[in-house]
Amino acid sequence: MRIAVFDVGGTFIKHSLMIDDVMTSQGKVPTPRDSQEDFLSTIETLLEDMQDVEGIAFSMPGVIDVKRKYIHAGGSLTYNNHTDVTLWEKRFQLPIEIENDARCAAIAELETGNMQGISQGVVLTFGTGVGGGLIINGDIYKGSHFIAGEVSVIFSKDPQIHHSQGLFGAIGSVYNLVEKIAKAKNSDTRDGKEVFDWIAMGDSISVNIFEEYCREVTLEFHNIQCLLDPQRICIGGGVSENPIFIAGLQKAIDDFYATLPIQFPHAEIMKCRYCNDANMLGAYYHYKKQR
């Protein structure tokens, strides 16, 4: 079986060809921001480089009805709002299965990753925004309107004052973190690796901003704990491969719970087994299950 897999993010489209459960020919290209036609043309170009593809698996942001293959809302890719994906099947002449990106990460971790054996868990993916995949009673939970786990649109601050910057998706955005640190250091870099190197070297400006970022994210971890009481929270996205990111969040969580007047149970924090590949692998598992 040869399945083209696309993990569509707000910044990049990551792609691979899955051949009998083996991920091959990985790469990434910038995500078109202008129109759905530009997006579909990019997918067509990528498909041309893959030979004898039998189907397509998509991991995408937004509110997605898997059974209808319908994108109600495309997240940051608003050109995908109200899209019937069966029209894409006709265009590409291939069967397509599609699922929300963070939910794909949760599927991958539940199937063969660090959520195996976990009954109640949460997968949070950090990138341009923050995605959430919920596991309840050992299965993926989508909610009544397919928005369960849409943590990016949780308001962490007063929307009348902070507007979209008060959303958890903006506060937890790694893109915004990198931009904030670069601006504070009068740098025009957007290279996350360079910024985390500054943190690793103990640069006071970078460290202070990163620690404040971790404290703000920790408050949402606590809110999630109060609502769902998960056993484990797995951290995904490309940044999860950097041990500084996981260690920073863990320290902020430990410090927060140490300040509470009573002992409060909280979830184990662990990085996703598949890190940046979790979305693609989960999309592939979803394709196989649907087929």
254-264 per-position pLDDT tens digit: 999 999 999 99
Q: In which band, very low, low, confident or very high, does the pLDDT at 123 lie, cut at 50, 70 and 90? A: very high
pLDDT on residue 142: 94
**φ and ψ of 163, to 5 deg:** 55, -135
pLDDT on residue 8: 96
The answer to whether the pTM exceeds 0.85 is yes
Residues carrying CATH 3.30.420.40, the chain: 2-100+278-290, 114-272
Cα(208)–Cα(147) distance, integer angstroms: 34
Of all residues in the chain, the percent with pLDDT exceeding 70 is 100
Give the mean pLDDT of 130-153.
94
Cα(106)–Cα(84) distance, integer angstroms: 24
User: Within 13 Å, how many C-alpha atoms sit on residue 69's CB side?
Assistant: 17
Could you please state the CATH topology (level 3) that the domain comprising 2-100+278-290 is classified under.
Nucleotidyltransferase; domain 5 (3.30.420)
pLDDT on residue 107: 97
- Any idea how long the chain is? 291
Q: In which band, very low, low, confident or very high, does the pLDDT at 22 lie, cut at 50, 70 and 90? A: very high
Decide: helix, strand or coil at residue 233.
strand
Q: In which band, very low, low, confident or very high, does the pLDDT at 4 lie, cut at 50, 70 and 90? A: very high
**φ and ψ of 158, to 5 deg:** -55, 115
Give the mean pLDDT of 69-76.
94
Q: Are 6 and 58 in contact (CB under 8 A)?
A: yes
Q: In which band, very low, low, confident or very high, does the pLDDT at 11 lie, cut at 50, 70 and 90? A: confident
pLDDT on residue 51: 85
Q: In which band, very low, low, confident or very high, does the pLDDT at 57 lie, cut at 50, 70 and 90? A: very high
pLDDT on residue 10: 85
Residue 126 has pLDDT above 90, yes or no: yes
pLDDT on residue 234: 96
Give the mean pLDDT of 199-212.
98
DSSP calls for 116-159: TT-SSEEEEEESSSEEEEEEETTEEE--TTS-TT-GGG-B-S-H
Answer yes or no: CATH 3.40.50.720 is held by domain 114-272.
no
The single-letter code of the amino acid at 86 is T
Residue 154 has pLDDT above 90, yes or no: yes
**Residue partners of 32: CB distance under 8 A and separation at least 6:** 38, 39, 41, 42
Q: Are 105 and 131 in contact (CB under 8 A)?
A: yes
Cα(78)–Cα(123) distance, integer angstroms: 24
Residue 41 has pLDDT above 90, yes or no: yes
- Taking 3-state DSSP, the helix, strand and coil percentages for the chain, each rounded to the nearest 5, stand at 45, 25, 30
**Mean of all residue pLDDT scores within the chain:** 95
